[in-house]
A and B are shown apart, each in its own frame.
Chain A
Amino acid sequence: MSKLEHSLTSWSGQALKHQPSLIDGIDARVRIVCAGLFALVVVSSVAFLPALLGLLLAFFLVKMAKLNIKRTLRRVVAMDLFMLTLICILPFTTPGDPMFTLFGLAASWQGLAHALLITIKANAVLLVLFSLVATMSASTLGHALAHLKMPNKLVHLLLFMVRYLDVISLEYKKMRRAMQARAFVLGCDRHTWQSIGYLFGMLLIRSVERAERILGAMKCRGFCGRLYLNDEMKITLSDRFFGLIFFCFLILLIGLNIDAT
C-alpha cells in the first residue's frame, strides 16, 4: 500500500512534478474552465463512445503536459482499486440480461456496463484535472479562482491553507519522528489510539499558537484582512486557440451524446 500515491504521504505545496510543456503557457483561468466543462460533459455522458473519447483526450493531455506517466498512473490506479469493488457489486444488483450466475445470483451485462462507464468517467476527469489544473502551483490556482469570481474569503482560505499545509505537515513529521525515537509503532490497540489522539491534540494546540503568531506578524506588517492579487492574467492568442479547440471537442462529445439518446 505504501507504494501508492493514494496514501497521501506528503503535501509538497507545489504543482505536480513535470517537465515544462505547452500546457504551462496557457492561462490558468482557461485551464480551470476547460477542466470544469470537461468534467460536466463527460460525467453527464450516457453512452460509451463520448466517455471513451473523453478518456482518450485525457491521455492526450497527460502526454501533452509531460506528466510523469508512472506517477500519474499510480495515483489513478489507487482509485481504480476502489472502483474494482464497484465492478464486482454492480452486475449483481442491476437487473438485465444474465452474464453468469454465482450462488444463485445473476450477474447482468447492464450492471457491468454501468460500472465500466463510471470507471471511465472518473478516470477521464481525474486525468484531465491532473494535466490541466494540478500542473499549476496551488497559489496560482487560488489567484485564478479569484479572477474567476470565487468569493474572496474562500480564496484567502485556500492561499492560507496552501502555505500552512507545508508547515504543519513538517510539524507533524517532527512529532512522529520523536515518537519513533521512543520506539512507538502503530498497532491496533488502545495505546496506539490514545497516543495518536495526544499527537493530534498537540498538533492542534501548536497550530493554534502558530496561527496567533501569524496573525500578529501579519498585523505588524499592516495586514488589514486582505491579500492583494496583483498578478495580471492576460488571455493571449494561444489561450483563445486552445480554448476554441477544447470547446469544439466538447461540442463533439455533446453531439455524440444527443445522437446516442
Chain B
Amino acid sequence: MHIVDGALSAPVLVSGAVLAIVGVFIGLKKMDYDQLPLVGVLASVFFIASYIHLPLGFSSVHLIMNGLLGILLGWVAFPALLVALLLQVVFFGFGGLLVLGVNTLNIALPAVIVYYLCYRGVRHESAKVAAIWGAIGGASAIVLTSIMVAFSLALSGESFVLAAKAVLPAHIPIMVVEAFVSYAAVYLIHTVKPEFITKESI
C-alpha cells in the first residue's frame, strides 16, 4: 500500500503533493482547535489499526480502515492521515519521504469520497442498515485506494503497468476482510453508543 521513494516519476510526485496539500488545507480549515484532541485520538486509533495483522492463507494483511476514518472525519481525514503517515515513515520506515503527498492522497481521498457516499446511510436508525453502509464504505475505500495506487504506478512509466495491474487483484482479499470488520465495528458502535455516530460529524 505504501509506495516507496524512487519509484514514481516527478510529475506524479508533484501533482500528488499539490493535491494532498489542497486536501490538507481544506481539512485544517474545517477543524477547530477544540476538535484537536478528538481528531488526534481518532488518528491514533487508525494508526493502531495498522498493527492488526489478520492471517489470510499463507500470508497476512493489515487493516487500513480508511473508509471508517473518512465516515467519522470527512475532510479532516487529510491532515490526520498526513500526520499518521509522516510518523510511520520517520519512525517505522514505511513508505518514503517524497512520496508522502501521493501516499496521503491515495488513502485520504477515498476516505473523503466514502464520507459523502455513506454519510446518510451510516446514520440510519436501524443498526443493521447502518452496518451494511459501513461495510460498503470500508470496501469501497479499499477499492478506490488500490485504483489510485495502480494509477500512480501506471502513470510513472510503461514498465510499471504490470505492477499496477497486479495491485487491484492483490487488494480483493483486504477488501473482503475490511468490509466484514467495518460491518461489525459500525454495528457495535450503533448498539453501544449510537449518539457517537448519529451526531453531526466534524
The judgment on whether A and B are partners is yes
* Mask of B158-198 contacts with A, CB within 8 angstroms, 1/0: 11111100100000000001001111111111001100100
Cβ distance A15 to chain B, nearest Cβ, rounded Å: 8
A153 touches B5 (CB 8 A): no
The number of chain B residues with a CB under 8 A from chain A is 76
A164 is contacted by which of B5, B31, B44 (Cβ under 8 Å)?
B44
Instruction: Tell whether, in the assembled complex, residue B41 and residue A214 are in contact, meaning their CB atoms are under 8 Å apart.
Output: yes
Whether the pair B188, A201 counts as a contact (CB closer than 8 A) is yes
The stretch that binds A, out of B32-40, B116-124, B139-147, is B32-40
Q: Are B92 and A8 in contact (CB under 8 A)?
A: yes
Q: Are B38 and A211 in contact (CB under 8 A)?
A: yes
CB <8 Å contact, A205 and B83 = no
Q: Is the interface of A mostly helix, strand, loop or mixed?
A: helix
Interface check A160, CB cutoff 8 A: yes
CA distance A5 to B34 in the complex (A): 35
A256 close to chain B: CB less than 8 A? no
Q: Restricting to B83-110, which residues have a CB under 8 Å from any CB of A?
A: 83-84, 86-94, 96-98
Across-interface contacts of A111 in B (CB, < 8 A): 159
Q: Are B37 and A161 in contact (CB under 8 A)?
A: no
Q: How far is the CA of A164 from the CA of B87 in the complex (A)?
A: 13
Contact of A160 (CB < 8 Å), options: B37, B56, B60, B94: B37
Any B CB within 8 A of the CB of A208: yes
Any B CB within 8 A of the CB of A86: yes
Contact between A198 and B41, CB atoms less than 8 A apart? no
Closest to B190 in A: A201
Check A153/B36 contact, CB under 8 A, given A93-B160, A111-B159: yes
Residues from chain A with a CB closer than 8 A to the CB of B177 are: 193
Nearest 6 pairs between A and B by C-beta? Answer: A197-B184, A225-B33, A160-B40, A121-B6, A201-B188, A201-B185
- 12 A-B pairs (CB sep. < 8 Å): A7-B53, A118-B6, A119-B6, A120-B6, A122-B96, A129-B93, A156-B40, A160-B37, A160-B41, A164-B44, A201-B184, A207-B44
